[in-house]
Amino acid sequence: MHYAVEGGHSDMIFFLTQKGADLSAGPESPLIAAVQYPDRKAALDMTTALVMNASDPNAKRGDGKTAVELAAARGYFDVVELLVHRGAIGAGVKTEVVYFGKRLSLDAQGKPFVPANIDGLPQDFINEFVRLSHFDTERVKHLFKLAPGMLAARATWDELAIEAAAHTGTTALARFLADAGAPVSTCTATLLGLRDRVTALVGGDPACIRERGAHDLPLMSYTAYGEQHAEIADDLLRAGASVHAKAFGITTLHIAARKGYVELAEVLLSHGADVNAAGVTNGATVTPLAMAQGAKQEGMVSFLKSRGGKA
């Protein structure tokens, strides 16, 4: 990991993360080299790859200088803002700070979640369980029978199996794990369409509106990852969620456009979403209309054009 950062290879950081690399490995965290990399964009890309997968944003250099201080000294204020967003302290920067207060607290029924003892379970096994939860429902169900205690087991990149299923829109698996008793965060409850649970979580703790899913994915995006949840989207936006937040470079409106979710798109636009928001996917800049056209969502294409959408 240290060599990958020294070389400026954010793609290699991602690869090593998937293999279970320690993103805060000593004697000095890779983040320290990332925030000081001579190329600002590469520094931001590498910092993103690290802190959005649980590298400690408060890492310090041997002389006691923090990652925030080092990034600020180079004038990398976008890097500073990202670090503060992920929980770094002492920068005096105003930005939304992520919140995970209810992430592991409750199950799908709102009952306290009590994790099973998984001492002795190999971390490689946990990592594989979570990795497969992005796409392989049947294999995950098989592994779960072997080790049901893994419901709250975290991969080395700080992701649960149910969270992996949630952000990939693998709704059937997310529902299976929720029914098995896995912890259900605000993001996961949104993906599952559990409006009452979302209302209870945000109503009981307004900070839940700042919750992020795995890889720092914003709460609003979960209204579109599986089935469209327009009513929940409206509730979240009224509670203060950002309609402009991006997940992997695109807004929730982009996701809705690609999937043809017109009802959800209507809600987003009514709350101020930019119909021509610039998103980045596969290295190309795209608007929601361009995504709808690429996905051959003709109904969405007509709708976005009627609202001033441009490709």
Domain 243-306 falls in which CATH fold? 1.25.40
Q: Is 270 left (phi over 0), alpha (psi -120 to 50) or beta?
A: alpha
Instruction: Render the burial of 181-220: b for 16+ CB within 10 Å, e for the rest.
Output: bbbbbbbbbbbbbbeebbebbbeeeeebbbbbbbbbbbbb
* Pairwise CA distance, residues 53 & 155, whole Å: 10
Q: For residue 267, which of 301, 220, 299 has the smallest C-alpha distance? A: 220
For residue 281, give Cα distances in angstroms to 59, 216, 235, 290: 30, 17, 28, 11
Question: Which pLDDT value is given to residue 118?
Answer: 86
42, 74 contact by CB (below 8 A): no
Residue ranges of domains in the chain:
2-85, 100-207+230-239, 243-306
Q: Where are the beta strands (DSSP E) in the chain?
A: 246-247, 250-251, 279-281, 284-286
Rounded to two decimals, what is the model's pTM?
0.93
Please, what CATH class does the domain formed by 2-85 belong to? mainly alpha
C-alpha distance across the termini of the chain, in Å: 39
Question: Which pLDDT value is given to residue 282?
Answer: 86
What are phi and psi for residue 217, nearest 5 degrees? Answer: -75, 130
Instruction: Render the burial of 230-248: b for 16+ CB within 10 Å, e for the rest.
Output: bebbbbbbeeebbbebbbe
pLDDT tens-digit profile of 254-304? 999 999 999 999 999 999 999 999 999 988 999 999 999 999 999 999 999
Low-confidence residues of the chain: pLDDT under 50: none
Question: Which pLDDT value is given to residue 117?
Answer: 84
Question: Which pLDDT value is given to residue 142?
Answer: 96
